[in-house]
Amino acid sequence: MTVMNPYGHLEDLKSPNKIGTRDLSVYSLVQSSRLDHTPPLPKVFHGHFKLNHGPPSTSAGHPEEIKNLFPNLFGQPSVQLVPCDGPSYNEDRKLRVGVVLSGGQAPGGHNVIAGMFDYLQVHAPGSVLYGFKGGPAGIMRNKWVEITETLVYPFRNQGGFDIICSGRDKIETPEQFKQAEETVTALDLDGLVVIGGDDSNTNAALLAEYFRSRKLKTRVLGCPKTIDGDLKSKQVPISFGFDTACKLYSEMIGNIMVDARSTGKYYHFVRLMGRAASHITLECAFQTHPNVAIIGEEVHAQKLTLRQVTNSIADVVCKRAHLGKHFGVVLIPEGLIDFIPEIENLIAELNDLLATQGCDPQGHWKSKLKPACRALFNSLPHNIQEELLLERDPHGNVQVARIETEKMLISMVEAELFARQHEETFKGHFKGQAHFFGYEGRCGLPTNFDATYCYALGFAASALLHCGQTGLIASVSNLTAPASEWVVGGTALTELMDVERRRGKNKPVIKKAMVELDGAPFKKFASLRDAWAVEDSYISPGPIQFSGPTADDTCYTLKLEVGSL
Ligand code: FBP
């Protein structure tokens, strides 16, 4: 099958060396219409540009430890691309670049690759882009596919990561670093771009440091991806995928709200993805106005117990029952369980136990838990106990996506209301419906915002490699302005780093950006939630729009954070 590519050339999709190409005949009309959408670029890419270097950087925490771990990278400045009159670096240099998608899917990943590819075609013709297949394992095993226009075209502005697929492997042992060295040396790579979340960008920094210490020519850059929205800083205002995922979840929450109001008989408990931070829950709350939205960071700050969280939901149910309303919508962040200090302690003890000696099926390991943790563990429903013991992901994290907190809270609220019925403080009925909106949000067609942001990130990554940069994360800011005004640069990865205890050991990590309780988004939410609890001011945002007046809207969190709302 032949298709017309955006440069007006006919390309054969069935060429034998083009792996992973999709069959365009099965695309929906909406998917097809997105293929030829060309995202607008920041104006710095309309002409020549140069790098402006900022002041020396430090780290988010423990600077001495980070300096020891990254002697070659620590302190390097962040950079900004600014327009200039003529060439400021070797613009004729052809590059050999690798790219890898790492971790969970996030809408827009294909556009980062398309942006990298298009930059190289336009600004460094003759360059080669390799896509490592299946995540970081593809680097270690030297499994790649050459990214060509024919390969990339069917993925332009499309959801998913299937152009080269992703994986959660980590390059961490000396042998694995050696394998990565062998691959980049065999391919003679000038640069490698790791598109990932906090853990994957930590890996990018470790690789950048290692390659530099080995005096390899390969530079390594990161790119901020995660629907969770917890990889951000002043210079990296948002991770890609957050905007699309929140809009997809909000559409479904809005539908559920209308259902709840129509039948008047169910409380819908919706657990929303976001392994650690509650950014998705907060954003969806702005978009839909639920009766309750629990923000994990607040639970943690107030040191609430599971019982107190349960009671706070039961209080809203009682208030609404008093008004004759026996329905409602409760949003719960996926990471809630980790935020409840008593459960956090339990998880920390379980992590150490699992990492050092494992848990025997007879349950003798429980005697190693401290008494308070043991009592809490024994008090949890059996399914939650099992879910807490599930295998950790390759980064040592509890797989919170598999812990059904919404079901646990429904049964605890039910029990609490039953007790209140006996005390005659609750007169009404309560029936919970559990939902988990997670994977549904990770591969949708990227919103205009994510499509444009990712395309710019791809351009930024290739441009930074073209200028010989390493150890940076591509960063694009001023995002509430039109795309032509966006500011493009790179932030030192070590500037985002701290030291954390993982799997019983201290490790360098990119500091997760949590919901800040003194930040504008949370403060705004706190000022509105009491009214949302009792009034049904539900909003049904409807499906994502690609044209029309709201198509280019950015999310509330971003607008509130930058003060444009
Ligand atoms: P990333 O941080 O890698 O982007 O992944 C985020 C996430 O989607 C979380 O929200 C979720 O808890 C987790 O991935 C699920 O992981 P998996 O895909 O391995 O089930």
Name the helix (H) or strand (E) containing 306.
Answer: helix 306-322
Read off the pLDDT of residues 225-249 as tens digits, 9 standing for 90 and up.
999 999 999 889 999 999 999 999 9
- Closest C-alpha to ligand 1, atom 8: 104
- Closest C-alpha to ligand 1, atom 15: 401
| Percentage of residues in the chain having pLDDT higher than 90 | 80
Residue 25 CA to ligand 1 centre (angstroms)? 31
Other CB atoms within 10 A of residue 564 CB: 11
- Closest C-alpha to ligand 1, atom 5: 104
pLDDT confidence of residue 475:
97
Range ranked top by mean pLDDT from 85-94, 346-355, 436-445: 436-445
134 is in an annotated binding site: no
Q: Which of 90-94, 153-157, 277-281 is the least confident region?
A: 90-94
Residue 558 CA to ligand 1 centre (angstroms)? 21
Nearest to 233 by CA among 208, 204, 207, 201: 201
Q: Which residues have CB under 6 Å of ligand 1?
A: 103-104, 106, 168, 197, 225-228, 273-275, 334, 393, 400-401, 442
Q: Name, in order, each residue with C-beta under 8 angstroms of 477's C-beta and a sequence gap of 6 or more.
A: 235, 236, 237, 486, 487, 489
C-beta of residue 39 within 8 angstroms of C-beta of residue 111: yes
pLDDT confidence of residue 505:
79
* Alpha carbons 501 and 481: distance in angstroms, whole number: 39
Q: Name, in order, each residue with C-beta under 8 angstroms of 229's C-beta and a sequence gap of 6 or more.
A: 238, 239, 242, 246, 274, 277, 279, 280, 283, 513, 557
C-beta of residue 504 within 8 angstroms of C-beta of residue 351: yes
- Closest C-alpha to ligand 1, atom 18: 104
Residue 502 CA to ligand 1 centre (angstroms)? 17
Q: Which of 216-220, 301-305, 500-504, 558-562 is the least confident region?
A: 500-504
- Closest C-alpha to ligand 1, atom 4: 226
156 is in an annotated binding site: no
- Closest C-alpha to ligand 1, atom 20: 401
pLDDT confidence of residue 180:
98
440 is in an annotated binding site: yes
How many degrees, rounded to 5, is the angle at CA 378 between CA 406 and CA 403?
A: 25
Residue 274 CA to ligand 1 centre (angstroms)? 7
Q: Choose one of 161, 165, 227 to mutate for the ligand 1 pocket test, by most ligand atoms within 8 angstroms of C-beta.
A: 227
Read off the pLDDT of residues 324-361 as tens digits, 9 standing for 90 and up.
999 999 999 998 988 998 988 888 888 888 878 777 87
pLDDT confidence of residue 458:
98
Specify the higher pLDDT residue, 146 or 389: 146
> For the chain, first and last CA: distance in Å?
48
Residues 91-241+446-490, CATH architecture = 3-Layer(aba) Sandwich (3.40)
290 φ, ψ (degrees, to nearest 5): -75, 170
pTM of the predicted model as reported, rounded to 2 decimal places: 0.92
Residue 21 pLDDT grade (very low, low, confident, very high; cuts 50, 70, 90): low
Q: Name, in order, each residue with C-beta under 8 angstroms of 107's C-beta and a sequence gap of 6 or more.
A: 159, 227, 240, 241, 244, 245, 442, 443, 444, 445, 446, 447, 450
441 is in an annotated binding site: yes
Name the helix (H) or strand (E) containing 216.
Answer: none
Query: Is 228 noted as a catalytic residue in this protein?
Result: yes
Read off the pLDDT of residues 295-325 as tens digits, 9 standing for 90 and up.
999 999 999 999 999 999 999 999 999 999 9
Residue 403 pLDDT grade (very low, low, confident, very high; cuts 50, 70, 90): confident
Query: Which atom of ligand 1 lies closest to the CA of 280?
Result: 10
Residue 384 pLDDT grade (very low, low, confident, very high; cuts 50, 70, 90): confident
Of the candidates 228, 230, 338, 450, the residue annotated as catalytic is 228
CA 537 from centroid of its chain's CA atoms: 29
198 is in an annotated binding site: yes
Whether residue 396 has pLDDT greater than 80: no
Identical topology for domains 91-241+446-490 and 246-441+517-561: yes
- Third-level CATH fold of 246-441+517-561: Rossmann fold (3.40.50)
Domain-by-domain residue ranges, the chain? 91-241+446-490, 246-441+517-561
Residue 98 CA to ligand 1 centre (angstroms)? 23
294 is in an annotated binding site: no
pLDDT confidence of residue 286:
98
